Structure 1
Amino acid sequence: MTPLICDSYDNTISKNETWTATATPFLQGISTSMFGSSAILDYKAAGLIFKSVLNGALSATNGQWAIWGLFSTTAQSQSQFTTTGAAAIEAQYLALAANAPNSAFNGLILYTPVQGTQSVGGMPQEFIGFNPVPEPGSLMLLGTGLVGLAGALRRKFAK
């Protein structure tokens, strides 16, 4: 099962609602995301917050409110935003995101709803997911490295 966290407080989903979403590697998906590429730093902070929720450094509740607050002034005006310390979490992770290497976002997937595919209501929520399986490009790089290493060892032992 893929763990998910919602990033769009102002959108809702209903029981038994269906829709189509595009699933893209996190950094690649930001350009076509719900909030667009102008929110890249917010998305990066949200990704790092989600990883901290997954590894137990943050509670799911505190992390969720911090992520919602990155993208919604409505979320920021809720009492839970204050009681969870979400503003401080946001500030901390926005600073981390500004200098985080792209590798910090490995395994994250952005699930962006496709407008018009929802079965009821307005635009559904967007989700960030995590899948620790390496991407095909990483496997190709590993394979190429192993072939090169095998060739070097073969030449060394052939002498």
Structure 2
Amino acid sequence: MIIAIAADHAGFPLKEEVREYVKKLGHEVHDLGAFNTESSDYSDFAVLVGKELMSGKAERGILICGSGVGVCIAANKMPGVRASMCHDTYSSHQGVEHDEMNVLVLGARIIGPALAFECVEAYLKAQFIASEPRFVRRLNKVKAIEAQYMPDARGTTYGS
């Protein structure tokens, strides 16, 4: 799988470790920055990962900032991006399985590398359960909200 990863200055050190871990798991990684700890804006990196997903250049994304909150809010402003901050393994896989989450968000000042690796692995191994009608129905409702409030959003609905 192709994974786009990015972080601001606060998330940079953890991003470096997570990037290497994702490669170790056998995935291709598109590292979109930051490339150092000089002050930077989380929203810029959310846009970079969102564009990779929207263009199909990446299948999933990982975003990291200090708390995870800012980058999560910014990423979810983009059509087709379903980002969630997860600091536990259950949310990391359940978000994909039930909600087709396509961006895992981590707070570098909240969790350390060991837990981050567990969350990343759970996220990357998970698949949306498209055979479950309730998950498909709920996802389609989310996509309808997106289409209503982001009229330029493009996307497909399951089961139609």
Higher radius of gyration, 1 or 2: 1
| TM-score, normalised relative to structure 2 | 0.27
Which structure is higher in helix share? Answer: 1
Whose RCO is larger (CA < 8 A, sep 6+)?
A: 1
| TM-score, normalised relative to structure 1 | 0.27
